[in-house]
Amino acid sequence: MADKIVVCRCEDVTLHEIEEAVALGHDDLESVKRYTGFGTGFCQGKQCVALCARLVSELSGRAPSLPITPRPPLHPTTIGHLARLLEDRPEKKR
Amino acid sequence: MPARRLGKGQPTILLRVDGEDVPAITGEPVAIALYAANRLVLGRSVKYHRPRGAACFAGRCDGCLMRVDGVPSVRTCRALASSGRVVETQNVLGSAGVDLLAAADWFFPGGMNHHEMFTWARPVNRAMQEIARRVAGIGTLPDEVMPATEVERVRVDVLVIGAGVAGLACAVALHGKGVDVLVVEEEAKDLSQAGAPARSSCVAIGVYDETDGRRLVLASGPRGVIEIAPRTIVIAQGAAETAEAFEGNDKPGILSVEAAERLFAHAVLPGDKPVIAGDGERVLRLVELFERHGVKPVRIERDELLRAIGRASVRRVETKSGARHACDVLIVLGRTSACYELGGQAGVEVHFDSDGFSLVASPEDGSTRHPEVFVVGSAASVRGEESARAQAERTADVIHARRAHG
């Protein structure tokens, strides 16, 4: 039996799942992300977005115009580090 | 033993790893110490419980996540070794080598489609969700509630993000011209002699718009978050190798070229039966490093890679033309893509070429479509140290000239 081709390691998304998504009509990167969940794990796509972009462009014949939307925090950060951000925050800066 | 230490610097301390002592050198990344001790399988993946091991040693993958001193999901490539640190495998029922939940990997050979799986009857769906919640996920809660830390606020004229060749060249040039500049660098580099004010182990995690037109950059450091309010941002975060698709591509013992370079930089031989997939100068330099230690790597084309085989970590590589190579490490030169995330958030245009993404900036002076954001070095597709340095210095000139003309 063939082993899996894992395109997104953090969320265990396989090549088969990407192919399935594109076959169902998800032909842009953001839409494939929402369907399969690639790029939504611990590394937030740092390993897999370029690979998935290459695959989607190969499978759909359309080169992606944009990567998935990067949202903060871009690196794992503890809640304790963020908890006091809004506390004693100056009302308005110069 | 496949991986081994190469003379200079021998371990003097012990880490406590799943109840066993593992030798380490103070200050080296925990993941490097584990690799040097031939502990390649560090955990299991979220759904299929496939074995996981460090793949990048650069904080960019899920491979080295472990519980460290009671804190879950720590990237052990970023946690530094000190005497007595307690390191535990997470996400495992049994041991990292033999995980009972790995049956899920066999049960779903193609993958799981959450949109259709077990959705034919509501009670079945509910029961399956209950099971999935128990089985999936990474880590469990920390031993103790972590305290809320102070937020440090810094106002600076120019913030340079990344202390590689381009970032440092730009910062040093600006500092030399009397511009108030700060460099933040995510790695634990010694930047005390950098020639410009700099903070290491400090990673930018987001850019936010402020009401007065300034941007706020949040950076996460060892003691907490720093809120930096720069007028101008220079992004110099580089480019990195990305994942490649072949069967078994997620197995422990499969490394990027950068990961292998990092092992050598810490005087650790990545393996004594290496297979290297890919071409070019970096691969040649890597081959030379192996040969210097009496190891002759097998070289194959990246496009020839068919599958990696091995129950826990990689033991054999098969090519599309039918060749089989026994190995203890497979090094794959991944296609590179810029670290575009922060630039994209800051308003720089992101472009896809056939390999990956890059930030659109002038190769001349780093300028972008956002007047206060510049991108220098390989993040802007400027290749080679000389060209990167030259572009970064011209960027500094442009920023300085603007200040001079008000």
Q: Do A83 and B150 touch (CB under 8 A)?
A: no
Q: Do A2 and B307 touch (CB under 8 A)?
A: yes
pLDDT for position B184: 98
pLDDT for position B297: 98
As a whole number, the mean pLDDT across chain B is: 93
pLDDT of residue B97 exceeding 70: no
pLDDT for position B68: 97
pLDDT for position B195: 96
Q: Do B212 and A92 touch (CB under 8 A)?
A: yes
pLDDT for position A89: 65
pLDDT for position A93: 47
Who's near B74: CB < 8 A, 6+ residues apart? B65, B66, B67, B68
Per this entry, what is the length of chain A?
A: 94
CA distance to partner chain A, nearest, from residue B9 (Å): 31
pLDDT of residue B281 exceeding 90: yes
pLDDT of residue B111 exceeding 90: no
Please give the average per-residue pLDDT across B336-343, as a whole number: 96
Distance (Å) of CA B46 to CA B90, B105, B108, B246, B247: 10, 11, 14, 20, 18
pLDDT for position B112: 74
Distance (Å) of CA B192 to CA B196, B198, B392: 9, 8, 20
Q: Do B61 and A79 touch (CB under 8 A)?
A: no
Looking at beta carbons, which residues of chain B come within 8 Å of A80?
146-149, 224
DSSP conformation class of B247: B
Q: Do B110 and A2 touch (CB under 8 A)?
A: no
Cis peptide bond prior to B274, omega within 30° of 0: no
CB B218 within 8 A of CB B208: yes
Element (H or E) spanning B293, and its range? Answer: none
Q: How far apart are CA B154 and CA B95, in angstroms?
A: 46
CA-based nearest residue in chain B for residue A94: B212
pLDDT for position A94: 41
Element (H or E) spanning A19, and its range? Answer: helix A15-23
Count CA atoms closer than 13 A to A93's CA, side-chain side: 17
- Where in B123-263 does DSSP place strands (E)? 152-161, 181-184, 198-199, 203-209, 215-221, 224-235, 239-241, 254-256
Nearest by CB to A13, from B111, B115, B244: name it.
B111
pLDDT for position B105: 81
pLDDT for position A20: 96
Residue B117's φ and ψ, nearest 5 degrees, are: -70, 130
Looking at beta carbons, which residues of chain A come within 8 Å of B69?
none
Tens-of-pLDDT digits for all 94 residues of chain A?
689 999 999 999 999 999 999 999 998 999 999 999 999 999 999 999 999 999 999 999 988 878 888 889 999 998 999 999 888 666 554 4
Q: How far apart are CA B345 and CA B342, in angstroms?
A: 5
pLDDT digits (tens, 9 = 90+) for B131-182: 777 666 778 889 988 889 999 999 999 999 999 999 999 999 999 999 999 9
pLDDT for position A3: 92
End-to-end CA, chain A: 65
Q: Do A16 and B63 touch (CB under 8 A)?
A: no
pLDDT digits (tens, 9 = 90+) for B65-92: 999 999 999 999 999 999 999 999 987 7
CA distance to partner chain B, nearest, from residue A4 (Å): 5
pLDDT of residue B222 exceeding 90: no
Contact pairs from chain A to chain B, CB under 8 Å: 187
Q: At what angle do helices B165-176 and B385-404 cross, to 10 degrees?
A: 30
Q: Do B205 and A42 touch (CB under 8 A)?
A: no
Q: What sign has the CA pseudo-torsion B134, B139, B143, B145?
A: negative
Looking at beta carbons, which residues of chain B come within 8 Å of A13?
111
pLDDT for position B406: 64
Distance (Å) of CA B71 to CA A77, A82, B16, B90: 12, 17, 14, 11
- State the pLDDT confidence band at B214, using cuts at 50, 70 and 90: confident
ipTM surpassing 0.90: yes
Q: Do B337 and A50 touch (CB under 8 A)?
A: yes
Q: Do B214 and A63 touch (CB under 8 A)?
A: no
Q: Do A93 and B246 touch (CB under 8 A)?
A: no
* DSSP-assigned states of every residue in B76-140: TTTSBP-TT-EEE--S-SB-SSSBGGGHHHHH-SS---TTTTT-SSHHHHHHHHHHHHHHSSS--
Bridge pairing between strands B43-44 and B274-277: unpaired
pLDDT digits (tens, 9 = 90+) for B252-262: 999 999 999 99
Q: Nearest CA to B51 among B250, B261, B286?
A: B250
Looking at beta carbons, which residues of chain B come within 8 Å of A5?
245-249
pLDDT of residue B103 exceeding 90: no
DSSP conformation class of A16: H
CA distance to partner chain A, nearest, from residue B64 (Å): 11
CA-based nearest residue in chain B for residue A63: B352
CA distance to partner chain B, nearest, from residue A27 (Å): 15
CA distance to partner chain B, nearest, from residue A18 (Å): 10
Q: Which residue has the tokens 């950068």?
A: B258
pTM above 0.95, yes or no: no
Give the lowest-confidence range in A46-55, A84-93, B307-316, B347-356. Answer: A84-93
pLDDT for position B294: 95
Please give the average per-residue pLDDT across B253-279, as a whole number: 97
CA-based nearest residue in chain B for residue A57: B354
CB B232 within 8 A of CB B179: no
pLDDT for position B102: 74
Please give the average per-residue pLDDT across B116-136, as a whole number: 75
Q: Do A12 and B149 touch (CB under 8 A)?
A: no
Q: Nearest CA to B15 among B61, B79, B58?
A: B79
Which stretches of B139-194 are DSSP H helices? 165-176
